[in-house]
Structure 1
Amino acid sequence: MEPFQHREDSGIPYFSLTLWEREFPHLIAGMSARDRESIQHPNQSNYAWTRSGSGNGVIANRRRLVETLGVPLSSWTCGNQVHGTVIREVDADARGRGHQSRDTAFPETDGLLTREEDVLLTSFYADCVPLFFYSPDMDMIGVAHAGWRGTVGGIGPKMVREFVRRGADRKRIRAVIAPSIGACCYEVDAKVADPLCNILPEADRTVLKSVAEGRWKLDLKEANRRLLRGEGLLEEHLSVTHWCTSCHPDLFHSHRRDQGRTGRMVAFIGKRKG
């Protein structure tokens, strides 16, 4: 079952994580999408301060998205991503870090979790894998940025352990692997393949497909699914999207497809006030 549904509310395109929103109505979760204009002008649907985006445009885009979602911009909370595995807990005092300035975001942070209401955890993408987490027993939410380095570093399993350390039941934790580049479009060399084989001994048979000498097609979503299963998440609590960001220029930014001349999508998850 595809966990995401493409929507366009008030002219703002995004993917809602309907699999969770239907079961847990107090959750707001999903990922932004491109609009038609952003195919030629990436700033139109860019949500992060990158080489392709200006500060004013980013804030305006964020404001339009949160208005569509029905949450205040001041709830938007993010980190400065570095393809690492640092995970921060967002308490009430940290709510809104990074929503109007890169300087106020959590430094060198690729994962966020919280039990607070009215906090929108956000993370930015243009091919890397967004990982969503929810613990119904603790009502805890999380999001993690898993490029190949974060995947090799185990940011997904680390997020599970952070949930468990705070009291979550491992067997009840849900995870969703969101739109990212697929094996159809992601070719890598030994620099990427070798570390993956070190953490997934069966990687050469399950997530890597040889296409030439020293070249493989990598299924990064499947690599993260297997790592999360290895951390003890139940199969029925793991969902993986079919969407490839590189295959759909009308819907997604893709760093690889567009050779770096692109914006960034945002993955978001929050809890409405009770």
Structure 2
Amino acid sequence: MASSESYHHGELAAQKRAGVVREAAHVAALLGAEIPRVARTFLAAQPMVVVGAAGRDGAVWATMLTGEPGFLAVTGTSSITVAATPAAGDPLHDVLAGPARVGMIGIEPGTRRRVRMNGTSRPIPGGLRVDMDQVYANCPKYIQKRLPEYEPATPGIPRRGDRLTADEMDFVAAADTFFVATTDAEGNADASHRGGNPGFLRALSPAHLRWPDYPGNAMFNTFGNLEVNPRAGLLLPDWSTGALLHLTGTAAVDWDAAERAVDFTIERVIRIDGASPLRWTDPEFSRFNP
């Protein structure tokens, strides 16, 4: 497909500003609603998936759903079922209780592979059904290699606030991975991975984060959405304890910085200890990390 048919006007504007129009048009051929055979095998082996969506108030959040391998199942050429739902207290619990436009990313840190999926989620008994609009693989850049183990966990009582605590600022400073969810002007969602060496994500204050933009696939899905809707949600997993730190707010791209960067203003924080039963090994950092 031509780039004008594959991307919305915000993505096209971001690609033009970044000078990657030709590259973006080339990779547009990767976009499609059908789930490739290799992606079906990949998804069936995964114990987690990250989901992003917007609530009725427009706030964008991201969360993580987990299960034994097989909890993600391809049920048609362009649909999957997810045998899990967000727990009570999760910011997407109510959103995914009804139809929702979602962005998803299935990621396997152990092999540095990932698949992005965007579509519409609907509740079914015991989980979700997601009908896809877009499915495509991403490159392995900036993924830290780590392997999972299971440890039964009961989600703790959510801590809610409008800014980070001192402990959470320290956690941000040590993070090597987070996920960012955005939507376009019509509410179509996207979920993306960000990785780097510890310190690449900085807490400049309890309500202000900043991270550099590293070269990626030239699609500029996240930046394109931010061109038309500044709302965004971040998910920071604690790989060793299973805690999840959910943030929602607004993001702005600093195109004029010597190193292109994103500034994120926090509006709400939800931290849930023990939210995930997965415990991961210490990372082997990506050779692509600046």
Q: Same fold per TM (> 0.5)?
A: no
TM-score normalised by length of structure 1? 0.31
TM-score normalised by length of structure 2? 0.30
